[in-house]
Structure 1
Amino acid sequence: MEVLDKPSIDRPFSEIFTTENQRLPSWMDPFIDYLSKGVEPTHKAVATRLRKRATLYTIRKGKLYRKCRSFPFLKCISLEEGLRVLLSLHSGICGNHAGARNLAFKALRTGYYWPTIEEDAKRITNAFLKCHKFANSPIAPSVPLSFVIAPWAYCQ
């Protein structure tokens, strides 16, 4: 049996087991502030652009969703969450190492949205060797093409 006469950690428990979420700024913050509180940016051009773009979004139960014609409401997520979603779709249980466009569309079908979805999908598919190794190669003839000249003269 070992007896400890002082704590084994230096920080108090309140610092270690904090329940506060320390959230970093996100691309969604201006939309959430504008739609829920009516807060606009001070710069006139930025405020006008925000007002126009905010018509594509709505807030339901405290979460930001993007309105879309082809899909139901798409849940807006942060860029870090978006990368995790793309990685799980690309190589996870439902992954087939698809191309960038197919991967981005699969994330939309799953119900997620973030503004850099296409660029992130391109970056992820370019990073995987399997995608390049087993990709479709262009069909080319095994021998060079030769010209066949017709034996009759063309009439004009």
Structure 2
Amino acid sequence: MKSFSYFLFVMALAFQACSQAPKSTPSMDQLPTSEAEWKAKLSEEEFYILRQKGTERPYTGKFLMHVDKGYYTCKGCGTRLFKSDSKFDSHCGWPSFDKEIKAGVIKETADLTLGMRRVEITCAKCGGHLGHVFDDGPTETGLRYCVNSVSLGFEKDK
């Protein structure tokens, strides 16, 4: 009788374990906290651009001629950065936008590297390098957010 009770106890534990929800994978809210974790999360090219402030070659990015309607997101954390209706062809070799989706999603920082005076843009949530913003845009905002395709994801409108 003791062995039967033990058997029932073990089976009850097994069924309970099987019925528990699986452990969730890290969400976009749980961002890497070290460069090693970022390196494991991102592709080599994404890590180079988002974390090491690299630049993709002009006219090579997958979003340069992209025309679908939706939202351009940060590849590092998924934050929505730009709406497709703010995208325009600036003929500069990188996707260009005239405004961020809402104030504060993009951080601007003076960039004096390479002997130039520019304004670097990064994702305000994860700090990922996106590109640069210039004040020579052709629309009413006068801005041109020049962004690396590699630093972007895309959510198509439903």
**Do they superpose with TM above 0.5?**
no
TM range (shorter): under 0.3
Compare the two structures and name the one with the higher helix fraction.
1
Q: Which has the higher contact order (CA 8 A, sep 6+)?
A: 2
Structure 1 length-normalised TM: 0.23
Compare the two structures and name the one with the higher strand fraction.
2
Flag the structure with larger Rg.
1
